[in-house]
Amino acid sequence: MGLRPFLSILDAGLRRHDGAFSAFPFNLQSYAFSLYPFILAFSHPRHYIAGMAKEKIPSTPAVLVLKQSAATFTLQTYAYEEHGGTKVSSRKLGVDEHCVIKTLVMEDENANPFMILMHGDREVSTKALARALGVKTVRPCTPETAHRHTGYFVGGTSPFGAKKVLKLYMEKTISGLPEILINAGSRGLLARMPPSELIRILKPTEVSVAI
């Protein structure tokens, strides 16, 4: 029997036989209802929030896409620092910066925008990326332009749930990691998942442009 039918039966039973509980040496009804949070916590095993029971987690477009895609992921928060980047997030979460993936919004010489995913401890070779894309030059978009394309602010840009559908490129070595942490659409909010989930949902084009 699934958990939700079980909860319905339990609730109905408690309401129907409320008076019978007085014969027990403890308040069985209160005990049963105290288990509800734990039962409900495991009723959606694909995703959960790590260590954030008392925090309000924003329902970002990125989180909504992950849920709608039935992704296996964990949300984690940290105290965001302006211009701290992946160095700060990896330190505060106690993870290797190489596994924290940054989402960069860039454009070519004709102002055609795209996204590229890169290891937190690596940079993008713009020359190598331009060659891989078959364009003359590439450069980062301004914060204002990036926001216009994605709907996200600097420090909270996610490849999931962007305002516009942009071409997505990914450093090929990311796929070989056991797991990654990537922005979930808000400053200080990351999603931990296997890279295979990102690839399944977004289908990025792999490139080799890390320096």
Per residue of the chain (211 residues), what is the pLDDT tens digit? 444 444 454 444 444 444 443 333 444 444 443 444 433 343 443 444 554 444 566 789 999 999 999 999 999 999 999 999 999 999 999 999 999 999 999 999 999 999 999 999 999 999 999 999 999 999 999 999 999 999 999 999 999 999 999 999 999 999 999 999 999 999 999 999 999 999 999 999 999 999 9
DSSP 63-129: HHHHHHTT--EEEEE----TT-HHHHHHHHHT--GGGEEEEEEEEETT--EEEEEEETT--B-HHHH
Which amino acid is residue 39, in one-letter code? I
Q: What is the pLDDT of residues 108-129, one digit of tens each?
A: 999 999 999 999 999 999 999 9
205: Cα within 13 Å, side-chain hemisphere: 12
- The values of phi and psi at residue 183, to 5°, are -55, 140
pLDDT of amino acid 59 = 87
